[in-house]
């Protein structure tokens, strides 16, 4: 398919994990023979990424997200299966391929910490062979978008985490990559900077057409950015689709907040569970797998005198964490 910028087929990846004994004898033994176990970080994973989309790659710690990102960047080679990105095989054609991608690993800096970020940018200009004209234009655009005109001139070590992160973004985008990989880019960033970074990601996606692949634990990132999400657990994809689709398929209850005209106790309705009950107010959890919300409301209205009513959905965060725990539907 021509629209697919990345295609991942039947990819598995495992790591050796060496066992380490504590005793002197174990240490001695390990000189000759090291025992290890295999950790299967990814098991037969398949997916495609379309040109121009923002994909959220989600999952609990140790699910295999970073491993997948490293495979797609060409840092690692899959044990089996194939990855095609921009018509390259990343691990085989790494040196040519990496000119076309950018990456920000939230935990690891791309910048020279003792020098101002602008020095790293200049160096990247040489590494990626960017022309003076393109470099100037691109840098100005990015600096403007992130509002970091002064920040890039002071040594990186003196910057706040959010400011540093903005500079990381610039460093990874100067060479005009077609794909941007972000591994937990908002960890430890304050709320204002976070919002700023989210708007920025949206902009570079819309205006520069950069395809973005993002892993995050921040559900706010997901809701405000991602066209599509993939949820990974223990190396296996457990969900792939849009957020509305996620809600449609995995929403198992809605909550009704009911305000009564008079004091009401011992509420009983089919397929409804009372979570909270006050004299004039109650919160009911409606099992929408067995009934519809309108049916539940109808039942409620028939039995009780209702003054007002609110409907609340389960948060995406809670849906995802339910999927992590594999209590699907």
Partner 1 sequence: MNYFFAFIKQSFKESTKSRVVFFINIFGKIIFFIINFYLWQAIFNYDGRGVINGLTMEETINYMLFVSIMYGLLSTNIHRIVMKDVKNGYINIKLLRPLDYGLGHLAMALGQNIYSFFLEIIPSLIIAIFFFNFKIYGIFYFLLSFISFFLAIILNFFIDLNFSLINFKFIDTYSAVNFAKSVFKSLFSGEIVPLNFFPQIMQQIFKFLPTTYLFYTPIMIYLGKLSGADIILSFIFQLIFIIFFYAIYKFFWKMLTKSFEGVGV
Ligand X SMILES: Nc1ncnc2c1ncn2[C@@H]1O[C@H](COP(=O)(O)OP(=O)(O)O)[C@@H](O)[C@H]1O
Contact positions vs ligand X (CB under 6 A): 15, 17, 39, 41, 59, 61-67
Nearer to ligand X, 80 or 292 (CB): 80
Q: How far is the CB of 17 from ligand X (least distance, A)?
A: 5
Q: How far is the CB of 103 from ligand X (least distance, A)?
A: 14
Q: How far is the CB of 144 from partner 1 (least distance, A)?
A: 25
User: Which partner, partner 1, ligand X, Mg ion, none, binds residue 63 by CB below 5 to 8 Å per kind?
Assistant: ligand X
Find out whether 89 and 82 touch, Cβ atoms under 8 Å. yes
Nearer to ligand X, 17 or 29 (CB): 17
User: Which partner, partner 1, Mg ion, ligand X, none, binds residue 94 by CB below 5 to 8 Å per kind?
Assistant: partner 1
**Alpha-carbon 27 to chain mean position:** 40
DSSP 50-109: ETT-EEEEE-STTSSHHHHHHHHHTSS--SEEEEEETTB-TTTSHHHHGGGEEEEETTB-
Map residues 30-59 to x or -, x wherever contact with partner 1 holds by CB under 8 A. -x----------------------------
Q: With CB under 8 A as the contact rule, which of the stretches 103-111, 138-146, 216-224, 285-293 interacts with partner 1?
A: 103-111
Strand partners, 48: 7
Q: With CB under 8 A as the contact rule, which of the stretches 56-64, 98-106, 219-227, 257-265 interacts with partner 1?
A: 98-106
- Which residues touch 196 (CB under 8 Å, ≥6 apart)? 146, 147, 162, 166
- In angstroms, rounded to a whole number, what is the distance separating the alpha carbons of residues 133 and 144? 17
User: Which token pair is 265?
Assistant: 């106790």
Q: How far is the CB of 167 from partner 1 (least distance, A)?
A: 14
Q: With CB under 8 A as the contact rule, which of the stretches 75-83, 196-204, 280-288, 292-300 interacts with partner 1?
A: 75-83
Which residues from 155-194 bind partner 1, rule CB under 8 A?
183
Site membership for partner 1, residue 112 (CB under 8 A): yes
- In angstroms, rounded to a whole number, what is the distance separating the alpha carbons of residues 222 and 324? 16
Nearer to partner 1, 155 or 220 (CB): 155
CB atoms under 10 Å from CB of 221, counted, come to 23
Find out whether 219 and 315 touch, Cβ atoms under 8 Å. yes
Site membership for partner 1, residue 152 (CB under 8 A): no
User: Which token pair is 204?
Assistant: 């570079």
Strand partners, 101: 179
Nearest-5° angle of CA 185, CA 186, CA 189? 135
Q: How far is the CB of 66 from Mg ion (least distance, A)?
A: 3
Work out the angle between the directed axes of helices 243-250 and 316-324 (0-180°, nearest 10): 70
Q: With CB under 8 A as the contact rule, which of the stretches 88-96, 138-146, 158-166, 275-283 interacts with partner 1?
A: 88-96
- Which residues touch 137 (CB under 8 Å, ≥6 apart)? none
Element (H, E) at 11: strand 4-18
- Among 66, 124, 196, 216, indicate the residue that binds Mg ion (CB under 5 A): 66
Site membership for partner 1, residue 122 (CB under 8 A): yes
Residues contributing to the site for partner 1 (CB under 8 A): 15-16, 31, 66-67, 70, 73-77, 94-96, 98-99, 101, 103, 105, 107-110, 112, 114-115, 119, 122-123, 125-129, 183
Residues contributing to the site for Mg ion (CB under 5 A): 66
């Amino acid at each position: 398919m021509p629209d697919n910028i990345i295609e991942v087929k039947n990819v598995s990846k495992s790591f050796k994990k060496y066992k380490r004994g504590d005793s002197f004898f174990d240490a001695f033994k390990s000189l000759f023979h090291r025992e290890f176990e295999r950790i299967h970080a990814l098991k037969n994973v398949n997916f495609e990424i379309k040109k121009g989309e923002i994909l959220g790659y989600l999952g609990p710690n140790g699910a295999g997200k970073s491993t997948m990102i490293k495979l797609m960047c060409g840092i690692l080679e899959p044990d089996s299966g194939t990855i095609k990105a921009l018509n390259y095989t990343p691990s085989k054609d790494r040196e040519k391929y990496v000119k076309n991608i950018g990456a920000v690993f939230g935990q690891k800096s791309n910048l020279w910490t003792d020098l101002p970020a602008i020095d790293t940018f200049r160096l990247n200009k040489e590494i990626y062979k960017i022309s003076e004209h393109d470099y100037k234009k691109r840098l100005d655009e990015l600096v403007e978008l992130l509002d970091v005109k002064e920040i890039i001139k002071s040594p990186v070590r003196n910057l706040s985490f959010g400011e540093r992160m903005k500079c990381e973004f610039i460093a990874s985008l100067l060479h005009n990559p077609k794909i941007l990989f972000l591994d937990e880019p908002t960890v430890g960033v304050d709320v204002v900077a976070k919002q700023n970074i989210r708007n920025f990601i949206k902009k570079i996606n819309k205006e520069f057409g950069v395809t973005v692949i993002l892993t995050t634990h921040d559900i706010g990132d997901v809701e405000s950015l991602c066209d599509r999400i993939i949820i990974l657990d223990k190396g296996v994809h457990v969900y792939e689709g849009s957020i509305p689709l996620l809600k449609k398929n995995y929403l198992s209850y809605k909550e009704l907040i009911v305000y009564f005209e008079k004091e009401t106790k011992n509420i009983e309705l089919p397929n409804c569970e009372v979570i909270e009950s006050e004299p004039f107010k109650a919160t009911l959890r409606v099992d929408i797998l067995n009934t519809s919300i309108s049916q539940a409301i109808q039942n409620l209205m028939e039995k009780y005198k209702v003054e007002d009513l609110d409907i609340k959905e389960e948060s995406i965060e809670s849906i995802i964490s339910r999927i992590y725990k594999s209590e699907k539907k």
